[in-house]
């Protein structure tokens, strides 16, 4: 879907790993295809400790919460601690003003339990955000992580409402085999509310409908 609307989007990719960031920049046609942010995003500017796990897709800014995770025996080895790595992070609003990045109209976030902190780093720029898709959890598999209910409450302050939840491994949301048929992890899709849309001009409502199309949700009526 995104590829078919490439001419209507200014894409910004976040890749803190230096070698991969350089590779992506080399493929970006001097930033014409997309922009690359070479630092991780967080709720404050500064250095964090990145918790690397045996399976890199399970790594997070937050340590694993073994009180919850250890009941899923098939996952324990994937979440096993490998090493801690210092990682420089920035708030998006800091980068927006410093590097003249585009307004964050549509966000896609998958940061293993650190979603709430990343959202905080957008600050008041979330007022301009039309839609968000992010991975979230219903149970805390990382220590001190915010759950989907916390994210719903936070985004309510920016007129963003939950429109759909999904799970690629469970089309009908009837359990998740990764978590021994418990529903622990979901993709959550948010868009601006109907009340917000009703107060906007025709162009803004059209942009909101476009965001809904990209996120595969029915436009607000």
For 46-74, the pLDDT digits (tens) are 999 999 999 999 999 999 999 999 999 99
Farthest CA pair distance, the chain:
53
Residue 2 has pLDDT above 70, yes or no: no
Q: How does pLDDT run across 176-205, given as a tens digit for each residue?
A: 999 999 999 999 999 999 999 999 999 999
Cα dihedral sign, 187-133-159-123 = positive
Q: The tokens 């209507």 sit on which residue?
A: 8
Q: Helix (H, G, I), strand (E, B), or coil: what is residue 118?
A: helix
Q: How does pLDDT run across 68-123, given as a tens digit for each residue?
A: 999 999 999 999 999 999 999 999 999 999 988 999 999 999 999 999 999 999 99
Asked whether 164 and 140 are in contact (CB, 8 A), the reply is: no
> pTM higher than 0.85, yes or no?
yes
Cα(74)–Cα(90) distance, rounded to whole angstroms?
Answer: 34
């Amino acid at each position: 879907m995104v590829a078919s609307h490439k001419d209507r989007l200014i894409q910004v990719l976040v890749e803190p790993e230096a070698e991969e960031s350089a590779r992506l920049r080399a493929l970006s046609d001097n930033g014409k295809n997309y922009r690359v942010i070479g630092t991780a995003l967080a709720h404050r500017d500064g250095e964090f400790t990145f918790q690397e796990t045996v399976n890199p897709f399970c790594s997070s800014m937050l340590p694993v919460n073994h009180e919850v995770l250890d009941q899923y025996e098939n996952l324990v080895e994937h979440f096993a601690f490998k090493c801690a790595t210092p990682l420089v992070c920035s708030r998006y609003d800091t980068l927006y003003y410093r590097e003249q990045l585009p307004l964050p109209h549509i966000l896609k976030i998958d940061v293993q339990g650190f979603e709430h902190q990343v959202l905080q780093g957008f600050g008041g720029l979330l007022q301009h955000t039309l839609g968000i898709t992010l991975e979230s959890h219903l149970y805390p598999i990382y220590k001190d992580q915010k759950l989907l209910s916390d994210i719903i409450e936070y985004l309510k302050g920016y007129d963003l409402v939950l429109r759909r939840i999904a799970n690629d491994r469970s089309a009908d949301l009837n359990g998740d085999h990764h978590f021994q048929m418990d529903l622990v992890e979901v993709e959550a899709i948010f868009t601006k509310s109907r009340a917000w849309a009703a107060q906007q001009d025709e162009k803004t409502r059209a942009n909101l409908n476009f965001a809904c199309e990209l996120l595969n949700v029915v436009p607000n009526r």
